[in-house]
């Protein structure tokens, strides 16, 4: 068996995506070692579960720094001390400067609750509803300096249904986030997924022109 991939996870809040990663590791489905969980918010609920599991949890409160550059310098030094091969943004709600992102080129994955490139940024679900969309979803993508703009790797589609509101839609999409984030991390850990020198995604040795789509569980072949 290969050595588990060293990973650092950044969060800002609830941490349900982090929990999905931890569950997949516990189930033996994810060959990953979480070396640290770092939150930019001191009261992030998502710090509790890793702490109980004995994983290092660290708070680097962005509000304590005079500038983004100063915050990110400390963040980067802290992350690098753990020597991760992958950085996972699991509900990390700070925009990262190009210098920071470039330092981890090809080694950062993010989860975003829309079908990117549609609806980058915040307040996603309400904007989807306001636009009258009949479908939304979630995307795992490599992070590049452009916010929510890096190449998409894996998506799950979620229909918008009658009488949806932003909260209902968010919770159905969240269920899919919990499926696709561990799956994409597993691909990376298994060496199946990488970014090439030109910024394209390579999956199983071939260029990935479009993100893979994970079908709803009910439609997956048994």
Give the residue, chosen from 4, 6, 16, 85, that forms a contact with ligand GRF under the rule CB under 6 A. 16
Residue whose token pair is 């509101």: 165
* Site track 113-132 with ligand GRF (rule: CB under 6 A), x = hit: x-------------------
Is 91 near ligand GRF (CB under 6 A)?
A: yes
Q: Are 103 and 36 in contact (CB under 8 A)?
A: no
* Distance, CA of 140 to CA of 44 (rounded, Å): 22
CB of 204 to ligand GRF, least distance (A): 26
| Three-state SS at 156 | strand
CB of 91 to ligand GRF, least distance (A): 3
Give the residue, chosen from 17, 40, 155, 176, that forms a contact with ligand GRF under the rule CB under 6 A. 17
Is 14 near ligand GRF (CB under 6 A)?
A: yes
Q: Are 37 and 58 in contact (CB under 8 A)?
A: yes
Is 46 near ligand GRF (CB under 6 A)?
A: yes
In the chain, at which residue ranges do the beta strands (DSSP E only) sit?
Answer: 5-11, 32-39, 56-59, 86-89, 108-112, 135-142, 152-159, 193-195, 201-203, 206-207, 212-214
CB of 28 to ligand GRF, least distance (A): 22
Beta 86-89 vs 5-11: how paired, if at all?
parallel
Q: Which residues of 187-209 are buried (b: 16+ CB within 10 A; e: fewer)?
A: bbbeeebebeeeeebebeeeebe
Give the residue, chosen from 37, 109, 111, 116, that forms a contact with ligand GRF under the rule CB under 6 A. 111
Residues assigned a catalytic role: 112
Is 41 near ligand GRF (CB under 6 A)?
A: no
CB-based burial of residue 31 (10 Å sphere; 0-12 exposed, 13-18 middle, 19+ buried)? middle
- Return the structure tokens found at 81: 């001390």
Binding to ligand GRF (CB under 6 A) within 130-189 occurs at 174, 177
* Interface segment toward ligand GRF; rule CB under 6 A; list 8-16, 33-41, 56-64, 199-207: 8-16
CB of 220 to ligand GRF, least distance (A): 22
Which parts of this chain interact with ligand GRF (CB under 6 A)? 11, 13-17, 46, 90-91, 111-113, 174, 177
């Amino acid at each position: 068996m290969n050595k588990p991939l060293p990973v650092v996870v950044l969060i800002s809040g609830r941490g349900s995506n982090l929990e999905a990663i931890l569950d997949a590791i516990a189930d033996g489905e994810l060959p990953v070692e979480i070396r640290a969980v770092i939150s930019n918010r001191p009261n992030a609920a998502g710090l509790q579960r890793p702490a109980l599991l004995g994983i290092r949890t660290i708070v680097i409160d962005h509000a304590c720094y005079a500038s983004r550059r100063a915050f990110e310098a400390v963040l980067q030094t802290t992350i690098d001390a753990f020597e991760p091969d992958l950085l996972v943004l699991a509900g990390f709600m700070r925009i990262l400067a190009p210098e920071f992102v470039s330092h981890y080129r090809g080694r950062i994955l993010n989860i975003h609750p829309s079908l990117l490139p549609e609806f980058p940024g915040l307040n996603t679900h309400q904007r989807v509803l306001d636009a009258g969309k009949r479908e939304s979803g979630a995307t795992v993508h490599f992070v590049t300096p452009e916010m929510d703009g890096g190449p998409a790797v894996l998506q799950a589609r979620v229909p918008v249904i009658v009488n949806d509101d932003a909260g209902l839609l968010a919770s159905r999409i969240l269920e899919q986030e919990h499926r696709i984030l561990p799956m994409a991390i597993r691909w990376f850990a298994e060496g199946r997924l990488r970014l090439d020198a030109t910024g394209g995604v390579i999956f199983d040795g071939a260029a990935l022109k479009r993100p893979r789509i994970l079908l709803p569980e009910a439609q997956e072949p048994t």
